[in-house]
Structure 1
Amino acid sequence: MASITSAINTEKWGKETEKHFGAIYDGVWDRDMYVDDIPWENGRFRELLENYSKIPPSEVEAEISRIRDKAWNVAKYPCIGFFAYLRLNEFDDSEPEMHKAVERLKAPGSKDAFLEIGGFICHTIRWLTYIGVDSERLYGTDLHDEFLELGYKQFRDRSTSKATFVAGDILLPDEEYAASPLAQTFNGKMSVIHASNFFHLFSWESQLVICERIVRFFKPGLGAAGDPAVLFGYHRCSDSPGETDKFRIYLHSEATFQSLWDEVGKRTATSWKVTMEPLPIPILTSHVFGREAKAMRYVVRQVVVG
């Protein structure tokens, strides 16, 4: 794998970049990306807090807002400011790949493992646990340990969840990354990986390194006698793919995302098929992503030959 120091410049995504994510707009970001009231239907998230976390119904919205505000003070992502994560869109009937993942994870005798990358408070992991997936085979990660801690506080399951949560930077230099908790915990263990609101935060070069490392998260031999390795989720894309003006962030079309994974395949001696389709959810106006950005559902499935 190419050295991270040669592939990625100092503009790579991380905590230092996050400090400038909204600050360059002199308060405009806070005004445009933060709302006081929950604007979405949030029945699934409410059900999770009431039945999984045992939070009294009258306290649910206050608890949601309390944790959201703490998270906003860590990093000002639009999906936090707008409560977008409350919708748990991944589990809608229109999301076949997640339903396939659930069937795979709940199959009798299943040894498949699921990883959520960029999981924020790892609400996806909690819903999977709530619907009966063995939490010992569920993993979540985020750049911020603070988010993972807020997940325990939101869902009140520190003493009951058997899921594994690991904070770390997937873009650390090679030697440092190899010794990091991410590589040590995830390499060679995963069958299904989910990453939403993630790839659109990075440059093309950063995405190459990230995807190479994701390939190493998968169990060897998947697909030889069963289901293949699968990465899926959604991100912001564009009919005019390329880097945005404000940051070195690359927005894909289906063709460019396939090209990225073709290069990943060459570097890792693997083969991958990309599919993408429009996602019928509202897109927030964002200074960073540009006016042409739109939500797309993606699936990256390993192609096993022979």
Structure 2
Amino acid sequence: MSYTHQTDGAPVPLDESMYRLEAEDYEFLSSATGINDPEELKKHVLSVQAEIYTVHPYHCIRAFGFARLKISRFPAYQHLLKLGKERLGALFLDLACCVGNDVRKAVADGFPVNQAIASDLHPEFWEMGHRLFKTTPETFPVPFIPADAFDDRYLAPSPIPTEPPTEPLSPLNELEALTPLVGRLSAIHTSAFFHLFPEEKQLELARRIAPLLSPEPGSIIFGAHGGLPQKGLRERKNSHGIHMFCHDPQSWKELWETQVFRPGQVKVETHLVERVRNDPAVKEVVKNYHLVWSVTRL
């Protein structure tokens, strides 16, 4: 998810011209929905977009980020699929999942559906995901956990586990919080999430998420969010009049290696991607940097 673009306190109107899907996005949506006609698929996506936008008018909804794949374009994606095939009972969490397009892609590519979990602050997004992909909780039975990662009721602060838990885990579809998953997740994906918060809250979020990861070597947290060549505040303000704080590759690496985990516990890989786009909301070309990253247990 991302910040909302607003003008005079009101959400910016939707703009159909922003509907642009790459071949991989279109093929996945078409296959998942069974809609083969490009115009019919566009009409369907626009209809769902209008509903989602009334719930929370985030910019990524307006820009059709919910209909575009992220996860399969990351270097860590093949490692995720390998864990699903080779590690017995490997559990995967898509955190801040929005409508669930990324966890659905992972399942479509072979990650066991009964070992995947999704979570977001807004359960309405998950419900809209069923509408977008023409599924039901029965036909796509990935459990969804509505949770605020900063709320101890859903994710209590925990130490980094050094051994996998030995007590049995409740069935995934009975979980009402993320805390029972501490030390049990082989993989966590989270994108467009960390950049929603100031620097100190990004560190807190990393410290809350990290204990969820299994201590088994190869367990991985990965994703992408706003970044900069040098850490600091973005020059352009977001819709709330705030300069977004962004890490650079080195500061993000140091955060995980020295402030979240102990030195030698993880391998961190990061790189910046520059993106240039036309933004009708501000009537100008906008250049942004995205930080693509992974944190792997050693």
Give runs of aligned pairs for residues 72-91 of structure 1, distance below 5 A: 72-91=53-72
- Equivalent of residue 24 in structure 2, options 44, 67, 82: 44
- Which secondary structure state, in structure 1, belongs to the residue aligned with residue 16 of structure 2? coil
Decide whether aligned partners of structure 1 residues 248 and 185 sit closer, same or farther in structure 2, where only a CA change above 3 A counts.
farther
Aligned position for 1:122: 100
1:60 aligned residue (35, 41, 44): 41
- C-alpha distance in structure 1 between counterparts of 2:180 and 2:277, whole Å: 34
Q: Quick check: which one's strand share is greater?
A: 2
Residue 203 and residue 129 in structure 1: after superposition, are their counterparts in 2 closer, same or farther (change >3 A)?
same
Partner of 1:30: 12
Alignment-derived partner of residue 122 in structure 2: 144
Question: Alignment partner of 2:290: what SS?
Answer: strand
Label 1:89 to 1:181 Cα distance change in 2 as closer, same or farther (>3 A). Answer: same
Q: Report the Cα offset of residue 208 of structure 1.
A: 1.9
Q: Show structure 2 runs of 5+ residues with no match.
A: 158-174
Aligned to 1:192: 187
Corresponding residue number in structure 2 for 1:216: 211
* Structure 1 letter corresponding to 2:8: D
Change (3 A) 1:47 1:97: same
Following superposition, the deviation at residue 280 of structure 1 comes to 5.6
d(CA) in 2 for partners of 1:214, 1:255: 20
5+ residue gaps, structure 1, are 1-12
Task: Please name the residue that 1:101 is paired with.
Answer: 80
Query: Structure 1 CA distance, aligned partners of 2:132 and 2:19?
Result: 19
Assess if the C-alpha contact under 8 Å between 2:95 and 2:118 holds in 1. Answer: yes
Contact kept? 1:203, 1:248, Cα under 8 Å? no
Name whichever structure is richer in helix by fraction.
1
CA spacing shift, 1:176–1:155, aligned 2, 3 Å: closer
Q: Is the 8 A contact 2:227 2:247 kept in 1?
A: yes
Deviation at 1:283, TM superposition (A): 5.0
Instruction: State the shift of 1:103 in Å.
Output: 2.2
Matched, 1:166 2:180: no
Match of 1:10 in 2: none
Matched residue type, 2:107: T
Shift of the 157–292 alpha-carbon distance from structure 1 to 2, 3 Å rule, reads closer
1:243-281 per-position Cα deviation (integer Å, ceiling 9, x unaligned): 456337420001221232221125xx9833332113364
**1:294 CA drift (Å):** 0.7
Q: Secondary structure at the match of 1:191?
A: strand
Cα-to-partner distance string for 1:115-157 (whole Å, 9 max, x where unaligned): 1111110101111222232111111111111101101111122
Which amino acid is 2:147 matched to? G
Match of 1:156 in 2: 134
Question: Are residues 1:260 and 2:255 paired?
Answer: yes
Question: Partners in 2 of 1:162 and 1:216 — Cα distance?
Answer: 26
Q: Which amino acid aligns with 2:140?
A: S
Aligned to 1:8: none
**TM-score if structure 1 supplies the norm length?**
0.76
- Deviation digits for residues 11-59 of structure 1, max 9, x if unmatched? xx99xxx7xx444x3168616xx42135423433333343333345363
Q: What's the counterpart of residue 71 of structure 1?
A: 52
Distance of 2:267 and 2:22 partners within structure 1: 33
Instruction: Note the C-alpha offset of 1:79.
Output: 1.7
Whether 1:204 aligns to 2:199 is yes
2:185 alignment partner, SS class: coil
CA RMSD across the alignment? 3.2
1:7 maps to none
Residue type at the aligned position of 2:202: Q
The number of aligned residues is: 270
What percent identity do the matched residue pairs reach? 22
